[in-house]
Amino acid sequence: MSGEYVHLKAEAGGKNFSAVRPFAFKVLPFNESELRGRLHSKFGNDGCENSPLKANFQEVTIFLQTAGTEEVILHTDKPISIKKELVYLKRSEGVSAFEYILIYQ
C-alpha cells in the first residue's frame, strides 16, 4: 500500500487474484511518531494541537501526499494498526485541523 492506493494479492483454489484500488480518504503509510517527525523537520512544528504548523494548507497537503507515495508492504499475518490522526494548522483566523488515516505495522 501507499498513501494513494492499496494493492491486494491472494490465492484461492489454485488461482491468483490481484486488485489495485485508490483510497476514498487521505492515508499515510507510517505511524504517528514518523508523521510528527516529518512535519517537524519540514515546518519546525509537529502539527499537534499544542504545536500547530505555521504553513499554508496546500503546502502541507502536497508535502504529505509526496511523503505518502512511498510503498509499504503490510503482512496480514502480523497486526496492522489503523489510526485517525489530526494535523493542526495555525491560520490568521485561528487554529484548524484536517485528518489523515495512518496505516502501519
* pLDDT tens digit sequence for 51-70: 999 999 999 999 998 888 87
Spatial neighbors of 99 by CB under 8 A, at least 6 apart, are 26, 84, 85, 86, 87
Residue 43's pLDDT is 97
Q: Please state the rounded mean pLDDT for residues 32-61.
A: 95
The verdict on residue 9 lying in a domain is no
Give the domain range for residue 34.
25-104
Give a yes or no: residue 3 inside a domain.
Answer: no
pLDDT over threshold 70, residue 6: yes
Q: What is the pLDDT of residue 24?
A: 67
Q: Residue 82 domain-assigned?
A: yes
The answer to whether residue 42 sits within a structural domain is yes
Question: Which pTM value belongs to this model?
Answer: 0.77
**For residue 51, what are the CA distances in angstroms to 22, 48, 57, 89, 96?**
31, 5, 15, 9, 12
Tell me, what's the pLDDT at 69?
83
Answer yes or no: is 41 within a domain: yes
pLDDT at position 83 is 93
Residues with Cβ within 8 Å of residue 103, at least 6 apart in sequence: 1, 27, 28, 29, 74, 80, 81, 82
Does residue 71 sit within a domain?
yes
